[in-house]
Amino acid sequence: MGTRNKHYLWLTALALVGLLWLLTCGKNEQKAVTVSVGGQEVNQVIQQRGLTAQDVYAAVKTYIPTGKHDEYIMFASGGHSGQVLVIGVPSMRLLKVIGVFTPEPWQGWGFSKETREVLAGGNPPGKTLTWGDVHHPGLSETGGDYDGQFLFVNDKANSRVAVIDLRDFETKQIVKNPISLSDHGGTFVTPNTEYVIEGGQYAMPLNGQYASLDQYKEKYRGMITFWKFDRKKGRLVPGQSFALELPPYWQDLSDAGKQVSEGWVFLNSFNTEMATGGVESGNPPFEAGASQRDMDYLHVINLRKAEQLFKAGKTKKINGFNVLPLDVLIKEGVLYFVPEPKSPHGIDVTPDGNYLVVSGKLDPHVTIYNFTKIKQAIEKGQFKEHDPYGVPIIDFDTAMEAQVEVGLGPLHTQFDPNGYAYTSLFLESAVARWTLGGQWTSKHGKEPWTLVDKVSVHYNIGHLAVAEGDNVHPDGKYLVALNKWSIDRFANVGPLLPQNFQLVDIASKDQPMKLLYDMPIGIGEPHYAQIIKADKIKAWEVYPEIGWDPSTQSKHPKAVQAGGEKIVRRGKTVEVFMTAVRSHYTPEHVEVKKGDRVIWHITNIERARDATHGFALPYYNFNLSIEPGETQTIEFVADRAGVYPFYCTEFCSALHLEMAGYFLVKP
């Protein structure tokens, strides 16, 4: 090579380096922020706090100025606290904790007669439960989209389902499943909330009787229950509800079909090995015994047909509850199986209703089934084989549409309006974004199913929730990762650590996902959450009338107005009709005799928003929260003589400490 040529090469190289420098350094050079507040430049604050451009972006995206409201509301499971968390998105501010399965003093939940009765509705005969393991909140839907009227949640520990009315964010009903002690595949609703789905988990004899584990295959059964919901009354109707008897596999998560698959329900399962554990006797432990086979079964359920059979009287009664027997389900074509790979988890129906996404906890893929193909196989009677109970099994390859390798330990999937699906990766501590393929486009022909992006989360993510992410019309924008571990994310608060909700920006179709915010949850292990557009919820500011009973959402028969207060004695029963207003109770003295039964109604006669009064009665163990307009009742036997000062537990006015009185019990 000649000198001139060498020279030329040198120049080209230099020019290239220059261009590269311009492209990279020039691009990275941050435009100085010139905003200054009270003489301090924002840029200085950024420097002093050592914030990166990404941090500033995240702060600006999530900060809600005082007085402004969040765009979305997230309803998150409170896990074994038994409660539900209400969180603003994107600020991730905790707005409320709704008392559900566990007494909660701030709300007087489980202290008043009215709320005790709701809690007691979930008690099994002869037992009082004081906690619950909340897993999956499900918002009521109209036409397959959240409508903001009701929220349902399940208690995995005792197979209970609760109904929360979003007019006042209070629990209105708790039902105990009569044939099961554990549920997991709930709560999910059908597209118009005709039914609330409660899938079981650990198989057991449905009649609640003893049966040896040697008789597992014969006597133990799984179940799925369809609770009929009466939207007008806001209540589940046990008499119009029914369950399906299922083989003793451990049924897991469920989802309702929508659009093309409306009227069908999908439920996955594991332990189709029917392992019964007993590691102490030399048996394989459950974790190994329940993971031997390559495939478990996706349960495909024809809910419309099941409903017809129930209405035609094909159910039998178990513990007084309507159950469609397994042989009827098989004979009448209600139940079908499709093989699912390697310890499946999660079943999520795509917004168009045509695809079912199942993850394999021990498989790096998500498997996507095509509902139309499943339905065709059912119609043509194309079954490969039957399970030991006679349930027809559709061939895996017939039903499967695609598999996407997303990463390690996939669990749950949500959707956005841009044609992306998001899957949580437990083992990898990440969220995978992948494209929903299968659609014909004029450009590429059939869209591919492919992984496009991943973001790390901290750590061990379980569920994830996308704004309106279970809907026929998802919103996208935000995703919340519900992480089981937080390890080093927060100040050390001892060996029991909070879980970590992480907010992720998924708004842009073309930009990678960005982590925005960490929210510690120090109350229990939250499982699932749903995120609804805030303006869909039309909650009351104060109760509609003075003397309102939230447990019936109507006028309380024992409410009084100012001037109507009284104490009435009938034999050994003393009934108190009291009012509360800033800053006094009327009457202020209540005197009874030892041994009297006391029924004490308090009506908050305020109409001002936020003018809540509490009511604490020491020794007798009561605290109430009486919101403007509300009437609440306590009932007890005055079994100890003495003097009991009662007082208001909400700092309601400057003279709040004076809002008190004496309860006197004469010997």
Give the contacts of 391 (CB within 8 A, at least 6 positions apart).
Answer: 247, 297, 326, 329, 330, 335, 336, 337
State yes or no: residue 270 binds ligand RUQ (CB under 6 A): no
Between CA 514 and CA 479 the distance in angstroms is 10
Per the structure block, which two tokens stand in for 261?
A: 């698959």
Does an H or E element contain 128, and which?
none
Shortest approach of ligand CUA to residue 648 CB, angstroms? Answer: 3
Torsions phi, psi of 115, nearest 5?
Answer: -75, -30
Which of 458, 527, 601, 613: binder of ligand RUQ (CB under 6 A)?
A: 527
Binding residues among 549-588 for ligand CUA as defined by CB under 6 A: 583
Residue 98 CB, shortest distance to ligand CUA, in Å, is 22
519 binds, among ligand CUA, ligand RUQ, none (CB under 5 to 8 A by kind): none
Instruction: For ligand RUQ, give the closer residue by CB, 351 or 462.
Output: 462
Q: Single out the residue of 80, 116, 135, 454 in contact with ligand RUQ (rule: CB under 6 A).
A: 135
Nearer to ligand CUA, 175 or 652 (CB): 652
For residues 216 and 389, what is the distance between their CA atoms, to the nearest angstrom? 13
The partner residues of 579 in beta bridges, in order of sequence, read 586, 603
Number of residues that bind ligand RUQ (CB under 6 A): 10
- The label of the residue with tokens 């439960």 reads 129
| Choice between 224 and 559, CB closer to ligand RUQ | 224
Nearest residue to 329 (alpha-carbon basis) of 295, 299, 363, 368: 299
Structure tokens of 52? 């990166």
Q: Which stretch binds ligand CUA (CB under 6 A): 69-77, 324-332, 350-358, 649-657?
A: 649-657
Alpha helices by DSSP H, listed for 30-70, are 42-48, 53-62
Q: Are 658 and 584 in contact (CB under 8 A)?
A: yes
Contact between 410 and ligand RUQ by CB under 6 A: the answer reads no
Q: Which of 301, 648, 661, 665 binds ligand CUA (CB under 6 A)?
A: 648
Among 136, 167, 172, 221, the residue binding ligand RUQ under the rule CB under 6 A is 136
Helix (H, G, I), strand (E, B) or coil at 56: helix
Decide whether 145 or 650 has the Cβ nearer to ligand CUA: 650
Give which of ligand CUA, ligand RUQ, none residue 527 binds (C-beta under 5 to 8 Å, depending on kind): ligand RUQ
- State the minimum distance, in angstroms, from the CB of residue 656 to ligand CUA: 4
Q: Which does 656 bind (CB under 5 to 8 A by kind): ligand RUQ, ligand CUA, none?
A: ligand CUA
Question: Which residues in the 146-185 window bind ligand RUQ by CB under 6 A?
Answer: 184
Please report whether residue 175 would count as binding ligand CUA according to CB under 6 A. no
Residue whose entry in the numeric block shows the structure tokens 């129930």: 310
Q: Are 143 and 90 a contacting pair, CB within 8 Å?
A: no
Residue closest to ligand RUQ when measured from CB atoms: 527
176 binds ligand CUA (CB under 6 A): no
Q: Quote the tokens at residue 253.
A: 């998560």
Q: For residues 252 and 475, which CB has a smaller minimum distance to ligand RUQ in the complex?
A: 252
CA–CA distance, 431 with 481 (Å, rounded to integer) = 8
Single residue of 652, 661, 663, 665 touching ligand CUA by CB under 6 A: 652
Task: Please answer whether residues 341 and 295 qualify as being in contact, where contact means their C-beta atoms are separated by less than 8 angstroms.
Answer: yes
11: left (phi over 0), alpha (psi -120 to 50) or beta: alpha
Q: Which of residues 600-639 bind ligand CUA (CB under 6 A)?
A: 613
Q: Does 461 bind ligand CUA (CB under 6 A)?
A: no
Q: How far apart are CA 200 and CA 298, in angstroms?
A: 14
Backbone angles phi, psi at 644, to 5 degrees: -125, 105
394 binds, among ligand RUQ, ligand CUA, none (CB under 5 to 8 A by kind): none
- Restricted to residues 182-241, the positions that interact with ligand RUQ (CB under 6 A) are 184
Chain residues in the site for ligand CUA (CB under 6 A): 583, 613, 648, 650-652, 656, 659
